[in-house]
Structure 1
Amino acid sequence: MNAHAADMPMPVKAYRAAAVDDALCWKGVCLYGIIDAGFGWQSHGQPFNGAFPTGAQYLVSAGSNRALWTASPNALSQSTIGLKGEFEVLPDLIPDLNAIFKVETGFNPMSGQLANGELSLQQNNGIPLDSRSANGDSSRNGQAFNGQVYVGLSSPTYGTLTIGRNNSLTLDQILGYDAMGGSYAFSPIGFSGTWAGAGSTEDARLDQSLKYTWNYGPVHAGVIYQVGDYGSSSSTADWVHDDLQGDIGFNYHGFSVDGTVAKVRGMVSASPLGPSPTNIGLTGLAATISDNVEWMLTAKYKWDKFEVMGGYENIDFANPADPVPVGFVNNYGFTFSTVSNTAFPRDKILQMMWIGGKWQATEHLTLIGSYYHEIQNAFGTAAGVAGCNTTVSSMCSGTLDAVSFLADYVVAKHFDVYAGVMYSQMQNGLANGAVQTSVLNPVTGAVLGPNGKSTAWNIDPTVGMRYSF
């Protein structure tokens, strides 16, 4: 996988009690939050990491190598705390125009640390795959406010404009059309931010961005632009990066459909420095740079106590038109001491398709099931790699499949308990270098070669509870 740490907001709860005005608000400013904690077992997991936004390595990964009981924070929702506000600004001139703001941050409730994906990568620099703790790239990287942070104007007539750090439109779309609501433990498109970030989890939330959304009757639309960082192709000291996305959709009598397109320059996908004693303790990271084009189409239909939803996403990765120099620093203040600008001899195409459904079995209990299928093409050109469909190279074609089930019981308005499980497996090119498909040096843990297997897998039965306010 390109990334292993999406960082989604909480799914909408299955049941809402009778409306009671118990919000924590004062003069238009409201405090809100959620705490999600639990425990689980994994057949092929990695040890808990308190900095990692998800805490546990729910989705099968290259380092998935041992059966273990583990703390399982944020399994259904990212634990967050924040402030938001809304105020009339010109009541006599434009009666329905409000000023709005939001500041929020995500944290790991079982370690007390702010969510920090790239710190979890640093902690695993130089360590062999079979000895690493849970880790992954993220758009939550230890910032004081690592969720959304924006100020703007909102009107039911003229739409909403926000400036600051905004959710990408691709993230919004996945949250709206994934039956698991972007869950870390039960959804690969929740756990892996590749899909929410149009190719990298770092772009699931966009710093330095302007976002505009608009509704008119059954039609809605949106656009977001990340100003990013600008250089020139003749400079060796600049990181050329920006992100432009657009969305259009409609809702009609329980049926909804949305389409999103995105174009990203200089996308960064971060990873730990390779297994080597000389890399242990280093603060630098490795980066793969790409220029991406993404599109996604989703639909859902709700009737009575049932809802079915699904989607298809296509991401094209190409080598960057403006190569990025070694030593550049990304938006989150991390330095990259290893940089690849030539990872894609041919364009890499990732496809994800999914379908899921919800059934509100009782007033308090909702049952959810989902299936996900990912396809990667063979994008290498070298002899012995071109057109391959094995684990011999990460450039070979491959697939990932996941199926999940969840039962969510809302005990009271602010408190629910849940139990669920996801089975995930990756094959061929997507499983290249995975501990389960490779022979390791018994002393150093370095990968020596394939062990004859083409599939790596994990199953993660998890139970937890959430308190929201």
Structure 2
Amino acid sequence: MAAAIVGLARAADLPAPNAPSQAKTPPNCWGSLWDVLNTSPAECPLTYAGFTLYGTIDMGAGYNIAGIPFGNSFTNGIYYGIRRASDGARWSLFPSALSTSVVGLKMEEQIYGDWLLIGAAEFGFSPLSGMLINGPRSLADNNLNTLANQTANGDSSRAGQWDNSQGFVGVSNKTYGTLTFGRVNALTTDVISAYDPVRSNAFSLLGFSAAFAGFGNTQLARVNTGFIYRLEYQNFRVAGLAQVGNGYALGNGSMGEYQAQIGATFGGFSIDGVVSYAKDAVGLATYAGSGLPAGHDPNSILRGTLSNNTGVLAAARYKWNQFEVYAGYTWSRQANPSDAFANGFETIALGIFVPPGAVNATNFNVNRILNAFWVGGKYDIWSNLSVSTGFYYQVQNDFLPSGSVCAGYNTGISSNKCAGSQSALSALVTYRPVKRVDIYAGVMLSNVHGGLAFDHFKSQNIDPGAGIRVRF
């Protein structure tokens, strides 16, 4: 009934045939709470003197057949996809299920002519605990906990920084492109987000794990001291990323990350490709209640695995009327790092380091090869109601040393270096009753097999859930 009334109201406002065109009435941004909610952040931004405050708060509730207790610092608070410590069935709140809850400040000031000074600072936080997202801290919190007693944890490029999402400054020009420097998203992070058919943390494997963007390492999803240059010309676009400075000491997850992107858009068809290389990429892990080195505070140490990561990403989408289809593919290779760091190193999280003897620089004597692809689609039932679905799949090779043989597959697998796979099937319904509010419901069925199921309590999770997202 509401939709019909709105439709009639819009029809009544249409000008009569051959009537002179009328200027569009600007929205009443702050007249009432309804006016605020029914205008978009772009229509009514919180802007003063060239600075715009913005944010997202996302909260829901749902069920996991293989769940885990809430982790205060973990990226999503709980596991939506299947992981090692996923265990018993449980009902729980679903924080940041559709998208990460963030607060940010962006800047845009005219310098001269078409030249603009731009910048942004943004942090992601848990809407349950109010804490800044800090993946390494979530790992350290579980150093004394065995796998069966862990709370949600996992490595992340977000490590408690005030700008754990991004924090950069730059210049922009319509003709000459955009150059930014600071804490920036990797090119792969933005491309994967743009080409994900079920764009969410809880109901998309790409959204749940940043390892796809990092070609095996989540910390590569962002660079702390990175230059990015972007240029668009007619239907084409190019971009490049280069990390500068002394990697770990400056808050980076590698000693050097470099990416190049090329893409194009023709009507409803869009395609992008990215090539990437990272030197001494970091993967952190908890001690899980055993092997803790004497003389160290368990709240301040983690184990680390290093690798040189090479990757290729290709993705495409096509929009036709109310339909949109998506597809993507990644290939990545993890090899032993260029440097061993036998004396340990500082991590990207303040106050947490990898001690001497806790660095694994030989994990990839045989290179690990990961292939992943996804397909999916989106259908706009109305302008404010859509349905999305997607299928995600990745597979790794057997990278055991010569002479070793894998045992088992779904159960009793002997090593995480055995060949294995991960898959997910997802569906999401999103409804926008007013412009600043999204109401959603979705589900993801995720599975692991072979080496990717090593040391897991369960090999499958299903996570039906629903929630609401508010943006300002």
- Pick the TM interval, shorter chain: 0.7 to 0.9
Partner of 2:107: 85
Superposed counterparts of 1:440-451, under 5 Å: none
What amino acid maps onto 2:468 in structure 1? M
Task: Confirm or deny that 1:252 pairs with 2:266.
Answer: yes
What amino acid maps onto 1:384 in structure 2? S
Superposed counterparts of 1:192-341, under 5 Å: 192-229=209-246, 241-276=255-290, 278=292, 281-333=298-350, 334-337=352-355, 338-341=358-361
Q: Is the 8 A contact 2:407 2:414 kept in 1?
A: no
Q: Distance in 2 between matches of 1:203 and 1:345?
A: 21
Secondary structure of the corresponding residue to residue 206 of structure 2: helix
Cα deviations across residues 290-316 of structure 1 (Å, max 9, x unaligned)? Answer: 001000111000011110011000110
Cα deviations across residues 111-153 of structure 1 (Å, max 9, x unaligned)? Answer: 1111111111011113211211111111111111211100000
Q: Cα–Cα, structure 1 residues 230 and 201, in superposed 2: closer, same or farther, change >3 Å?
A: closer
What amino acid maps onto 1:84 in structure 2? K
Moved more, 109-118 or 261-270: 109-118
Superposed counterparts of 1:298-447, under 5 Å: 298-333=315-350, 334-337=352-355, 338-385=358-405, 391-436=413-458
Q: Distance in 1 between matches of 2:449 and 2:377?
A: 26
Task: Confirm or deny that 1:33 pairs with 2:49.
Answer: no
Secondary structure of the corresponding residue to residue 62 of structure 1: coil
Q: Is the 8 A contact 1:378 1:387 kept in 2?
A: no
Q: Distance in 2 between matches of 1:423 and 1:289?
A: 31
Cα deviations across residues 273-331 of structure 1 (Å, max 9, x unaligned)? Answer: 14328579442001110001000111000011110011000110000122122431123
- Ranges in structure 1 where 5+ consecutive residues have no aligned partner: 1-15, 232-238, 437-455
Which one of the candidate residues 452, 456, 460 is aligned to 1:457?
460
Q: Cα–Cα, structure 1 residues 40 and 52, in superposed 2: closer, same or farther, change >3 Å?
A: same
Q: Is the 8 A contact 2:124 2:165 kept in 1?
A: yes
Task: Confirm or deny that 1:138 pairs with 2:160.
Answer: no
For this pair of structures, how many residues does the alignment match?
Answer: 423
Task: Confirm or deny that 1:127 pairs with 2:130.
Answer: no
What amino acid maps onto 2:469 in structure 1? R
Cα deviations across residues 395-420 of structure 1 (Å, max 9, x unaligned)? Answer: 10001110010000101010111010
What amino acid maps onto 1:138 in structure 2? S
Q: Distance in 1 between matches of 2:396 and 2:390?
A: 20
Q: Cα–Cα, structure 1 residues 142 and 348, in superposed 2: closer, same or farther, change >3 Å?
A: same
Q: Cα–Cα, structure 1 residues 278 and 243, in superposed 2: closer, same or farther, change >3 Å?
A: closer
Q: Distance in 2 between matches of 1:168 and 1:21?
A: 29
Moved more, 247-256 or 389-398: 389-398
Name the % identity.
Answer: 38
Task: Confirm or deny that 1:65 pairs with 2:79.
Answer: no
Cα deviations across residues 160-212 of structure 1 (Å, max 9, x unaligned)? Answer: 0001001100101101101122x210111111111112321111110011000
Partner of 1:185: 202
- Ranges in structure 2 where 5+ consecutive residues have no aligned partner: 1-37
Q: Is the 8 A contact 2:40 2:436 kept in 1?
A: no
What amino acid maps onto 1:128 in structure 2? T
Partner of 2:130: 112
Cα deviations across residues 16-73 of structure 1 (Å, max 9, x unaligned)? Answer: 9789731111122111100001111100011111211201111100111110111210
Q: Cα–Cα, structure 1 residues 433 and 387, in superposed 2: closer, same or farther, change >3 Å?
A: closer
What amino acid maps onto 2:278 in structure 1? V
Partner of 1:444: none
Moved more, 368-377 or 191-200: 191-200
Q: Cα–Cα, structure 1 residues 242 and 19, in superposed 2: closer, same or farther, change >3 Å?
A: closer
Secondary structure of the corresponding residue to residue 64 of structure 1: coil
Cα deviations across residues 354-375 of structure 1 (Å, max 9, x unaligned)? Answer: 0111101112211000000110
Partner of 1:173: 191
Partner of 2:35: none
Q: When the two structures are superposed, what TM-score results if normalisation uses the length of structure 2?
A: 0.86
Q: Is the 8 A contact 1:379 1:386 kept in 2?
A: no
Residue 230 of structure 1: how far off its partner (Å): 6.4
What amino acid maps onto 1:317 in structure 2? Q
Q: Cα–Cα, structure 1 residues 156 and 261, in superposed 2: closer, same or farther, change >3 Å?
A: same
Q: Cα–Cα, structure 1 residues 305 and 240, in superposed 2: closer, same or farther, change >3 Å?
A: closer
What amino acid maps onto 1:302 in structure 2? K
Q: Distance in 2 between matches of 1:295 and 1:388?
A: 31
Secondary structure of the corresponding residue to residue 346 of structure 2: coil
Which one of the candidate residues 137, 147, 166 is aligned to 2:165?
147
Secondary structure of the corresponding residue to residue 109 of structure 1: coil
Q: Is the 8 A contact 1:106 1:115 kept in 2?
A: yes
Give me the CA root mean square deviation: 2.0
Q: Is the 8 A contact 1:38 1:72 kept in 2?
A: yes
Q: When the two structures are superposed, what TM-score results if normalisation uses the length of structure 1?
A: 0.87
Q: Which has the larger radius of gyration?
A: 2
Q: Distance in 1 between matches of 2:408 and 2:336?
A: 20
Q: Is the 8 A contact 1:136 1:271 kept in 2?
A: yes
Moved more, 340-349 or 188-197: 188-197
Secondary structure of the corresponding residue to residue 21 of structure 1: coil
Q: Is the 8 A contact 1:380 1:387 kept in 2?
A: no
Q: Distance in 2 between matches of 1:467 and 1:19?
A: 11
Q: Distance in 2 between matches of 1:212 and 1:363?
A: 34
